[in-house]
Amino acid sequence: MTDNKTSLSDLFGFDMNELSDILVEVNEKSRKLVQTFVEQQGQPGRIDQVEAASVGKSFQELASKLMADPNKLFDSQMSYWTDYWGLVQKSSLQLFGGMPAENPEEKPEEKPDKRFRHEAWRANPMFNFIKESYLLTSKAIRTAVQDIQGLDDKTRQKIEFYTGQYLDAIAPSNFLGTNPELLQLTVESRGENLLNGLKNLLEDLDRGPCQLQIQMTDMDAFEVGKDLAVTPGKVVYQNDLIELIQYAPATAEVHKRSLMIIPPWINKYYILDLREQNSMVRWMVEQGYTVFMISWANPDAALKDIGFEDYMLEGPVTALKEIERATGQREVNVIGYCMGGTLLASVTAYLTARGEGDRIHSGTYMASLIDFSDPGDIGVFLDEEQITAFEDKMSEQGYLDGCAMSNSFSMLRANDLVWAYVINNYLKGATPVPFDILFWNSDATNMPAKMHSFYLRNMYLHDRLREPGGITLDNVPIDIGTIKSPAYFISTREDHIALWQATYKGALLHKGDVRFVLGAAGHVAGIVNPPPRKKYGHWTNDQLPDTASKWLEDAEFHQSSWWLNWVEWNAPYAGEKVPARKPGGSAADQLDDAPGCYVTNRLDRPESGVCYMPNALL
């Protein structure tokens, strides 16, 4: 007969005495690090307090609805305990009767849960029980919440979102004592993983400017202008808000009409110009386009009074004039990505109202919302109380810091963008690997107070852009329904930021010829999809029915990248071939080499923001 400790060791698959000794040793070595961590935590800001109050109010309403129907609550509890008792019986046979552990069959439409990939989650009966009891409980809680009647849509969305956040946070994979992979690593390294994890945590706290920004990749592995954003070109114009980059041609002849790209100002433009093998800019240049890119300034308090209207006038409206000056061509094909697409719709309607709609010969909307009636989970953060809290915070410093935006978007995919890195960095003690897209994702930007307030209220909160005359810019009422230029909408099926069903509604608002295409993957990977990689395909449908579901039902799947489909679509609008153009036309109009200086401003390195151009055309 074995003793109790030996029995526990057998159950968990580890020498519990050795593990205990290791944890005592780790505790002694890490006491100073833990103390430093506690001292640096600080107090929650007003936005956190308002968010917590809003969440608390929603769950109070949930509790009242649950108590209002005790029979349904009783039925849910009985169903849960019946299932749980079945799991206990099966697990007892596995633990003490020698029955092999088995996972329930996964449904073909469901993706494998990456949190439980380690073999011990299946092979070890104890950890299999821990995993299965968590999954069973999570499913029961989610089902109970989803079945509650009488909640308004906003309250239901908040409850379901934060319930998911809570359930993701308490997953057994997130804790040392219930994660077999972490326990094995701790024994093998004699706790070195935990000490390294605490060091990683302190480094993240010290890095700034965020209170805690979990490092997703090696932020020293790349340098913008050296490793990323390296397509040759020149900055040909600069004002306080933008630098306009014209890229050097890669072909002897180019299409007559240039291509202007409006990237989102919530991130930096070089997501479209990463490395040579995955740069959309380089690929477009190689297709014979004269490509211009707007590079937005990373604003500080000096730009606090810059509004959405200024972004339109000093951004694409000014850029169009500079492109005409540089090329002699009035008509330009324009691409807008994410918020850049929202701005593209606004500026096209604005120019149309002024009788200048021909300037934008065609518009391409990449994962862009125009109709904001279904903003997805990000709508959880956007009600009157929380937007007011954002505005109060922004008024103190003149802008919303990039950390707040970055953390909000990470919460939308907490398992992939938060907990996976907590485990890797802090519990495994590993160093994040270099990854260009995650480097870009971590290179956050600020939002000017006036602009961001306008955007949150008029787009997300009140959904005014889709209404004829719903918003006015530069004294011009905006009406998306007046846009008659050809439009290409590319959205992605797994996008959690701009739901493709919502972007489809925006396509229906246009009155010109519209092609809607749906790419595989998500908001970034589905857009940055170079043809040679042959990684993600796309769906097409020549019709534009009233609903997104009907569109997808009749759509045809293609294995190739949507980039090839876009080139075929844009060919009639590109114009005949002309001799390749030199960026800026003359040395006097070449202010700096691409990528310029606005894009190199990093929040975690204030010294990187120095940007001085004595030749700037201000």
**pLDDT tens digits, one per residue of 420-448:** 989 999 999 999 899 999 999 988 899 99
Q: Which of 338, 403, 597, 611 is catalytic?
A: 338
Q: Which helix (H) or strand (E) holds 292?
A: strand 291-296
Task: Specify whether 145 is located in the same domain as 12.
Answer: yes
Greater model confidence, 518 or 189 = 518
What residues pair up with 609 in beta bridges, in sequence order? none
At residue 412 the predicted structure's pLDDT band, cuts being 50, 70 and 90, is confident
User: pLDDT at residue 299 above 80?
Assistant: yes
Q: Are strands 360-366 and 332-337 parallel, antiparallel or unpaired?
A: parallel
User: pLDDT at residue 316 above 80?
Assistant: yes
Measured distance CA(101)–CA(406) in Å, rounded: 40
| Whole-number percent of the chain with pLDDT over 90 | 54
Worst-scoring range by mean pLDDT, 33-42, 182-191, 379-388?
A: 33-42
Per-residue pLDDT reduced to its tens digit, 489-533 = 999 999 999 999 999 999 999 988 999 999 999 999 999 999 998
With respect to residue 223, please indicate whether it lies within any of the assigned structural domains. no
Structure token pair of residue 560: 């190739």
User: pLDDT at residue 538 above 50?
Assistant: yes
Task: Specify whether 432 is located in the same domain as 364.
Answer: yes
Sign of the torsion formed by the C-alpha atoms of 463, 467, 472 and 473: positive
Q: Indicate which CATH number applies to the domain containing 470.
A: 3.40.50.1820
Per-residue pLDDT reduced to its tens digit, 143-157 = 888 888 778 888 888
**Average pLDDT for 546-561:** 97
With respect to residue 351, please indicate whether it lies within any of the assigned structural domains. yes
Question: Under 8 Å CB-to-CB from 27, ≥6 apart: which residues?
Answer: none
Which 3 state secondary structure label does DSSP give 195? helix
At residue 33 the predicted structure's pLDDT band, cuts being 50, 70 and 90, is low
Identify residue 195 by its one-letter amino acid code.
L
Q: Looking at 192, 207, 222, which one is the last position of a domain? A: 207
* Residue 7 backbone class (left: φ over 0; alpha: ψ -120 to 50; beta: rest): alpha
Measured distance CA(167)–CA(163) in Å, rounded: 6
Q: Which domain holds residue 333?
A: 233-609
Task: Specify whether 176 is located in the same domain as 271.
Answer: no
Task: Specify whether 182 is located in the same domain as 274.
Answer: no
| Whole-number percent of the chain with pLDDT over 70 | 81
For residue 15, give Cα distances in angstroms to 35, 91, 194, 307, 521: 29, 22, 18, 62, 43
User: pLDDT at residue 31 above 90?
Assistant: no
Query: Catalytic site residue 597?
Result: no
Task: Specify whether 316 is located in the same domain as 442.
Answer: yes
Task: Specify whether 164 is located in the same domain as 240.
Answer: no
Phi and psi for 545 in degrees, rounded to 5? -65, 175
Task: Specify whether 438 is located in the same domain as 508.
Answer: yes
Phi and psi for 243 in degrees, rounded to 5? -115, 135
Helices 4-12 and 125-146 sit at what angle, rounded to 10 degrees?
60
Question: How close are the terminal C-alpha atoms of the chain, in Å?
Answer: 86
Tally of domains in the chain: 2
Task: Specify whether 438 is located in the same domain as 361.
Answer: yes
Measured distance CA(465)–CA(216) in Å, rounded: 35
User: pLDDT at residue 50 above 60?
Assistant: no
Task: Specify whether 173 is located in the same domain as 270.
Answer: no
pLDDT score for 131: 94
Task: Specify whether 19 is located in the same domain as 147.
Answer: yes
**Average pLDDT for 50-69:** 58
Task: Specify whether 549 is located in the same domain as 464.
Answer: yes
With respect to residue 222, please indicate whether it lies within any of the assigned structural domains. no
With respect to residue 320, please indicate whether it lies within any of the assigned structural domains. yes
Task: Specify whether 176 is located in the same domain as 293.
Answer: no
